[in-house]
Amino acid sequence: EALGLLYAVLNQLDYGLAVINANSRQLLFANTPAHSALHPTSTQKTGLCLTDGRLCTRQRAHAEQLMLALTRTKAQLRGLLTLGEDSGQTSVAVMPLSALTAPDVAPGDGAAGLPPSYALLLFAKQQLCDSTSITLFANERGLTRAEAQVLAHICRGLRPSEIATHHGVQICTV
């Protein structure tokens, strides 16, 4: 029951979390945002995907950068991958979890007989605020519908002048 509750909690986070075996690149756990980011048809620009349950880069030129980050985790060093695709990049933190002992992993389950070493991947948040958070905040603060729309545009990264143009109002109104 506790494990199921922990999984439910991790799925509520807006950040993708994935645990992989750093030797074999085999995925051991991913919350829903991480599964979404790693799906082969994902529109998120993480530069990473899963192939047969193993972590891979979408572009061959980035494979060495991934392997270096995973090697660093074995030495208890953190890393940051920036492996975006043509239209943009995003960052993925790679952190060591080598002290983790998985109960269902035998000592020789690492690649080529190496002891298992684990890495936590933390995916960058894809958007500042989701629509549910914006709606809840707007309702709690008593914002009007127009004010909530302005807030949503700000969260999407628009400038006040762009918001004014979009709504056909003066910038002082925004």
Give the DSSP letter string of 85-106.
Answer: BTTB--EEEEEE-TT---TT--
Whole-number average pLDDT of the chain: 83
Q: How far apart are CA 147 and CA 75, in angstroms?
A: 50
pLDDT greater than 70 at residue 84: no
pTM: 0.69
pLDDT in tens, 20-74: 999 999 999 999 889 888 887 776 667 888 999 999 998 888 899 999 999 999 9
What are the helix and strand counts (H, E) for the chain? 6, 7
Q: How far apart are CA 82 and CA 70, in angstroms?
A: 14
CB atoms within 10 A of CB 106: 8
Give the range among 7-11, 110-114, 163-167 with minimum mean pLDDT: 110-114
